[in-house]
């Protein structure tokens, strides 16, 4: 979308094209520079040819979805299905059903003739299977491999080994399927759609269409305010709607829909949400914004609360999916994982200079965390008093470096990081992979190294100090690595 002019008010103009190119001809460096860092959308082709899903999930003539295949192989899975005809709060109304039930609905629908696509009969449900954690449920099937451009994915790498919440009262009901990961399958008949939104944690999103075509509308950050109500709480639901000017005073659209807008088709797609060094700050900015809203909401009961901060954090976890302590644990472990990798490059492979590109990735990560942790220092949740009254589970999970290093879940994260960056490195064509072997001598050298840096992290300030000491010890303090920490996320 682009800004339009005229009638004295800025308008959301639906026009413009997203760049399109062959992903096989793009290097990782170019991808970072041209798309990831400036936060620019792109269509990359040629990256799904060897996916098993691209063969199994299509009908024999290759034109539509192979619905029977889903019913036969995955029919018992219980999934979330949205009814695109029914709004519920700010989203579409959802229900649970089995894949077999959904496929049977879809097959019946396909038999109906003459359905208009965008002006569908609103009295009938129009069902869209969403947010299916397919990969988690069927890991052995290996439906696809994530293209290397999208593998620097801190969110899913972390969730493969860690729970997002530590607090027992939060994690009982929240850690389950919803937080299992952010790798999804979406599938729906033509006409299904998703309301205007910004993604979870303001993460990046990639989507691979296994079957059919979708239209995407992207709203650049500079235009975001045009789709919100005057309190910046809710946004326009559907860009096709007649939007009330009273409710959304900024919204006026100038429509120039692409010619092929009506040719959307039955689709199956794989969608991941992910964040990394280039957009970590968006996650913190969102948490801080939502925290302030949550706090303001209960400010009048502050005086009668035993643990006001704890209540704010619980509400934040419930509303946003993560709270400040969850995030602190996450960035601490990510930091330690990156330090482990740097250490190995230095001590096992001999010198950082022999693997400059790879070490730059780890250093860039540390610099990004440092920048965010610097902002976090000022949050009320991290005052001495509030840290001391946060739960043991939370405190232990970010404070005791030695203990963390010995945990199985941390070691799994660390190995996953190594494999990920080796894979990115291969894409960078830096040279052959060097196997990192763990032996007791290296382990003890590493523990000496980490102990020399300090053994406790009592909050974001200590994390900043730790990163500074690592950068100093590895002679990277003056590395010239470009991490834009404050680009803005897109609304989709």
Ligand X SMILES: O=C(O)CCC(=O)C(=O)O
- Give the interface with ligand X as residue ranges (CB under 6 A): 186, 194, 199, 205, 207, 269, 271, 492
Q: Which residues pair with 43 in a beta bridge?
A: 20
Length of the chain measured in residues: 492
Query: Which C-beta is closer to ligand X: that of 23 or that of 41?
Result: 41
d(CA 328, CA 17): 39
Query: Which C-beta is closer to ligand X: that of 194 or that of 313?
Result: 194
d(CA 116, CA 86): 17
Q: Minimum distance from CB of 374 to ligand X (Å)? A: 30
Query: Which C-beta is closer to ligand X: that of 127 or that of 342?
Result: 127
Q: Minimum distance from CB of 107 to ligand X (Å)? A: 21
Q: Minimum distance from CB of 164 to ligand X (Å)? A: 19
Those residues with Cβ within 8 angstroms of residue 2's Cβ, 6 or more apart along the chain or in another chain: 13, 15, 16, 220, 223
DSSP state of 489: P
Query: Which C-beta is closer to ligand X: that of 207 or that of 442?
Result: 207
Tokens of 187: 């599938």
d(CA 471, CA 478): 8
H helix runs in 322-459, sequence order: 324-347, 356-376, 384-388, 392-399, 401-406, 408-428, 440-453
Closest of 322, 338, 253 to residue 284, by C-alpha:
322
Query: Which C-beta is closer to ligand X: that of 194 or that of 386?
Result: 194
Q: Minimum distance from CB of 207 to ligand X (Å)? A: 5
At residue 182, the 3 state secondary structure works out as: coil
CB 393 within 8 A of CB 166: yes
Residue nearest to ligand X (CB): 194
Query: Which C-beta is closer to ligand X: that of 257 or that of 308?
Result: 257
Query: Which C-beta is closer to ligand X: that of 205 or that of 474?
Result: 205
| Other Cβ atoms closer than 10 A to 137 | 15
Q: Minimum distance from CB of 37 to ligand X (Å)? A: 20
Closest of 455, 425, 445 to residue 340, by C-alpha:
445
| Other Cβ atoms closer than 10 A to 315 | 18
Span between the terminal Cα atoms of the chain, in Å: 10
Q: Minimum distance from CB of 338 to ligand X (Å)? A: 27
Query: Which C-beta is closer to ligand X: that of 269 or that of 399?
Result: 269
Q: Minimum distance from CB of 47 to ligand X (Å)? A: 16
Q: C-alpha distances in angstroms, 272 versus 69, 181, 424, 490?
A: 23, 9, 17, 15
Instruction: Give the DSSP letter string of 259-290.
Output: TTGGG---EEEEEEEE--TTTHHHHHHHHHHH
Q: Minimum distance from CB of 389 to ligand X (Å)? A: 37
Tokens of 78: 């219980």
Query: Which C-beta is closer to ligand X: that of 186 or that of 446?
Result: 186
Those residues with Cβ within 8 angstroms of residue 111's Cβ, 6 or more apart along the chain or in another chain: none
d(CA 134, CA 131): 9
Query: Which C-beta is closer to ligand X: that of 260 or that of 306?
Result: 260
φ and ψ at 477, to 5 degrees?
-55, -35
Query: Which C-beta is closer to ligand X: that of 209 or that of 357?
Result: 209
Q: Minimum distance from CB of 91 to ligand X (Å)? A: 10
Q: Minimum distance from CB of 490 to ligand X (Å)? A: 10
CB 71 within 8 A of CB 103: yes
φ and ψ at 19, to 5 degrees?
-60, 145
Q: Minimum distance from CB of 53 to ligand X (Å)? A: 15
Q: Minimum distance from CB of 210 to ligand X (Å)? A: 12
Tokens 């610097």, located at residue: 374
d(CA 301, CA 295): 10
Query: Which C-beta is closer to ligand X: that of 85 or that of 207?
Result: 207
């Amino acid at each position: 979308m682009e800004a339009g002019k005229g009638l004295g008010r800025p308008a959301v103009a639906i026009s413009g094209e997203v760049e399109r190119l062959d992903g096989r001809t793009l290097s990782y460096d170019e991808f970072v520079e041209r798309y990831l860092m400036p936060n620019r959308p792109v269509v990359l082709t040629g990256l799904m040819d060897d996916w098993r899903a691209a063969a199994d999930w299509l009908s024999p003539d290759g034109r539509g979805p192979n619905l029977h295949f889903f019913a036969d192989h995955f029919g018992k899975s219980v999934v979330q299905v949205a009814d695109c005809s029914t709004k519920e709060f700010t989203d579409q109304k959802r229900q649970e059903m089995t894949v077999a039930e959904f496929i049977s609905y879809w097959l019946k629908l396909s038999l109906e003739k003459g359905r208009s696509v965008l002006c569908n009969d609103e009295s009938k449900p129009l069902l869209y299977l969403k947010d299916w954690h397919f990969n988690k449920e069927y890991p052995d099937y290996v439906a696809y491999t994530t293209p290397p451009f999208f593998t620097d994915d801190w969110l899913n790498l972390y969730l493969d080994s860690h729970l997002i919440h530590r607090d027992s009262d939060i994690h009982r009901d929240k850690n389950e399927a919803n937080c299992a990961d952010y790798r999804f399958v979406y599938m729906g008949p033509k006409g299904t759609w998703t309301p205007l939104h910004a993604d979870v944690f303001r993460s990046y999103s990639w989507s691979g269409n296994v079957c059919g075509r979708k239209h995407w509308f992207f709203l650049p950050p500079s235009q975001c305010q045009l789709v919100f109500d005057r309190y910046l709480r809710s946004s326009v639901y559907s860009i096709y709607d007649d939007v009330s000017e009273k409710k959304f005073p900024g919204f006026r659209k100038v429509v120039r829909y692409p010619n092929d807008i009506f040719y959307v088709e039955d689709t199956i797609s794989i969608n991941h949400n992910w964040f990394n060094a280039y957009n970590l700050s968006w996650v913190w900015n969102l948490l801080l914004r939502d925290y302030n809203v949550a706090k303001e909401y209960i400010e009048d009961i502050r005086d009668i609360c035993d643990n006001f901060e704890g209540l704010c954090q619980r509400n934040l976890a419930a509303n946003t999916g993560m709270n400040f302590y969850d995030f602190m644990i996450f960035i601490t472990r990510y930091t330690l994982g990156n330090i482990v990798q740097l250490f190995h490059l230095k001590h096992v492979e001999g010198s950082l200079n022999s693997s400059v590109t790879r070490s730059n990735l780890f250093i860039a990560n540390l610099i990004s965390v440092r920048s965010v942790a610097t902002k976090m220092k000022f949050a009320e949740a991290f005052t001495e008093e509030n840290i001391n009254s946060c739960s043991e589970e939370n405190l232990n999970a970010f404070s005791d470096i030695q203990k963390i290093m010995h945990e199985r879940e941390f070691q799994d994260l660390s190995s996953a990081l190594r494999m990920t960056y080796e894979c990115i490195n291969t894409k960078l064509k830096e040279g052959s992979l060097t196997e990192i072997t763990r032996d007791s001598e290296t382990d003890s050298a590493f523990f000496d190294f980490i102990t020399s840096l300090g053994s406790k992290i009592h909050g974001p300030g200590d994390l900043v100090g730790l990163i500074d000491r690592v950068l100093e010890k590895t002679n990277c303090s003056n590395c010239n690595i470009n991490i834009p920490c404050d680009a803005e996320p897109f609304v989709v």
